[in-house]
Structure 1
Amino acid sequence: MQTIKLNGDVHMPILGLGTFRVRGYSTVYQVLDAAFQAGYRSFDTATVYQNEADIGKALKELLPKHGLTRKDIFVTSKLAPQDHGEEAESACLRSLEQLDCDYIDLYLIHWPGKQGLKSEDPDNKLHRQKSWQAMEKLKESGKFRVIGVSNYTVEHMNELLSHCRIKPSVLQVEYHPLLVQTDLLNFCSSAGIHLQAYSSLGVGKLVSEPQIIKVAGKYRKTPSQVLLKWAVQQGIGVIPKSCNPERIKENFMIFDFSLSEEDINTISSLHSGTRYCWDPTHVA
């Protein structure tokens, strides 16, 4: 497994398992079991996914089954938009309790705005700052190994860097061939922040993109593998999600081939500014 060295001297697998909409203990257990068998060691969840407790319980059973300990895996979770601000510290501690962990490897602010406030409300900035201060405190206490943000724009990132004591280690955003966020990638590269992609497959729609299918045929790989490799080969982390054991295994098998520079450029040229998820650009 290829890893990324984050600022803060923590290593994170460049490929992890996303768990959005993976709910119910039996489903969580089966998905994580298949992931461990395939080789995954990094797992991404969030308060709003409503599966932290089930993931924590499953890990307690699956780690010894696969001959692993807590230090062998990397767990990410995220602060819910409703918990921005004064509620942030208690919400962070609740994630730790739900996951039944002594520490979380990476904890992110999930969204730049506070639930209940209008996007243009300037108070969003104040809530973000208070949330970050709470996360800094928990990182310093050892509860979080590193901290970061999700769905931030360049403007949000510049604002954060203007006041933070601890620099974010990761920015997680929607990133795929139809949404090549070059400005964010360049920003993160220059700031020493790792860019991690979600929705790498365009919520499943990009696997039927003719150009992706063509490239996949050339390498005798699946479109999903090509899409994930396109990101990973550029140093961008990925967290594909699936409940299908074969797909989980397939998505992990991307380390035995390399795309040519020409093919990476061809895939990148598909950029159209298309978003399949949320647009944070309007959040003050």
Structure 2
Amino acid sequence: MSSSTPPSVLLNTGVQMPLLGLGTYKLLDPEGVYRAVDAALAAGYRAFDSAAVYRNEADLGRALKELLPKHGLTREDVFITSKLGPKDQGERAMEGALHSLAQLDLAYIDLYLIHWPGTRDLDVSDQRNPNNRAQSWAALEELHAEGKLKAIGVSNYTPAHMRELMQSCRIPPAVLQVEFHPRFCQSELRRVCEEYGVCFQAYSSLGKGELVSDPVVMEVAKTCECTPAQVLLRWAVQQGVPVLPKSSNPDRIKDNSRIFDFTLSKTDMDRLSALDCGQKFCRGASAVV
């Protein structure tokens, strides 16, 4: 992957977001975050994804501050995403977003998402959830207008949640980040995003590691002379879907950056897409009202 101009997708804000980013879920120690960010920057990554609930925003901010000069980069060369925790959904959203800014020690965050459609300590069927989502979005719109959040979006929203948001928002979401892989193709949700001009972004592209041993994925990998992880990531980006593979292993981080060095045939793409069976590996949001 080119270190100067990484492949990207155009958001509805007019900003380019890299197709490949480093996910930092479960990277909990400062040294591990530092090593992963160092390896990622060396491999050409220019996007990093964190969240309040990951409890590593401060570590990521410190690592970037130290490592960007080492790699001849500035703040403007990287795209930083973080997310509002469910405990701050609603009236505490402004406070939560500003806390993320402070933890990251940044003047602005490139993309800030509502992490979950529900609220911590509320039942998924609690009728206060829709109002809390609306309150959170209003706070994010305000911070977006102030330039502190360059783009705003959501994560784990269903088609119903997306339609609800689009009916009430002043600023449309730039991104929807959800679980996406060959066994969970999210066709309806992708259509909704296309209808509203929202970038559909994937997490858990490897199905928590289970999909790398899928027989079809392994066959395609053998044919392409690449790793199963590269096949799964390439399947997404070849459809224009940004991915956020997470790893603390420098070699795997480098391997994952090579997904732009090959192309899957239409036959291989179709074989992978045919694995779709609605299987989710992550906790679903569909029950949240």
Deviation at 1:190, TM superposition (A): 1.9
Aligned to 1:58: 63
Aligned amino acid, residue 16 of structure 1:
G
Aligned to 1:251: 256
Following the alignment from structure 2 to structure 1, what is the Cα–Cα distance between the partners of residues 287 and 125? 7
Deviation at 1:173, TM superposition (A): 0.2
Does the alignment pair 1:136 with 2:137? no
Does the alignment pair 1:189 with 2:186? no
Following the alignment from structure 1 to structure 2, what is the Cα–Cα distance between the partners of residues 14 and 31? 18
Following the alignment from structure 2 to structure 1, what is the Cα–Cα distance between the partners of residues 123 and 261? 47
Following the alignment from structure 1 to structure 2, what is the Cα–Cα distance between the partners of residues 231 and 29? 27
Following the alignment from structure 2 to structure 1, what is the Cα–Cα distance between the partners of residues 194 and 255? 29
Aligned amino acid, residue 8 of structure 2:
T
SS in 2 for 1:277: coil
SS in 1 for 2:177: strand
Aligned to 2:30: 25
Aligned amino acid, residue 253 of structure 1:
R
Aligned amino acid, residue 68 of structure 1:
L
SS in 1 for 2:151: strand
SS in 2 for 1:238: coil
Deviation at 1:84, TM superposition (A): 0.4
- Equivalent of residue 215 in structure 2, options 210, 215, 218: 210
Deviation at 1:263, TM superposition (A): 1.1
SS in 2 for 1:282: coil
* 1:143-191 deviation per Cα after TM superposition (whole angstroms, max 9, x unaligned): 0100000000000000000000000000000000111100011111121
SS in 2 for 1:112: coil
Following the alignment from structure 1 to structure 2, what is the Cα–Cα distance between the partners of residues 261 and 149? 31
Does the alignment pair 1:267 with 2:272? yes
SS in 2 for 1:43: strand
- Equivalent of residue 167 in structure 1, options 143, 151, 172: 172
**What pairs with 1:71-150 in structure 2 (closer than 5 Å)?**
71-150=76-155
Deviation at 1:223, TM superposition (A): 0.4
Deviation at 1:113, TM superposition (A): 0.2
Of residues 264-273 and 150-159 in structure 1, the stretch that sits farther from structure 2 once superposed is 264-273
- Equivalent of residue 15 in structure 1, options 16, 20, 27: 20
SS in 2 for 1:249: helix
* 1:243-266 deviation per Cα after TM superposition (whole angstroms, max 9, x unaligned): 100000001101111111121111
SS in 2 for 1:237: coil
Aligned amino acid, residue 47 of structure 1:
A
Following the alignment from structure 1 to structure 2, what is the Cα–Cα distance between the partners of residues 72 and 257? 25
Q: What 5-or-longer segments of structure 1 have no aligned partner? A: none
SS in 2 for 1:85: coil
Q: What 5-or-longer segments of structure 2 have no aligned partner? A: 1-5
Following the alignment from structure 2 to structure 1, what is the Cα–Cα distance between the partners of residues 161 and 250? 37
Following the alignment from structure 1 to structure 2, what is the Cα–Cα distance between the partners of residues 68 and 139? 25
Aligned to 1:198: 203
- TM-score scaled by length of structure 2: 0.98
Following the alignment from structure 1 to structure 2, what is the Cα–Cα distance between the partners of residues 77 and 240? 15
RMSD, aligned CA: 0.6
Following the alignment from structure 2 to structure 1, what is the Cα–Cα distance between the partners of residues 161 and 277? 23
* 1:61-111 deviation per Cα after TM superposition (whole angstroms, max 9, x unaligned): 001011100000000000000000110001100000000000000000000
Deviation at 1:278, TM superposition (A): 1.2
Following the alignment from structure 1 to structure 2, what is the Cα–Cα distance between the partners of residues 273 and 3? 28
Which 4+ stretches in 1 moved above 3 angstroms? none
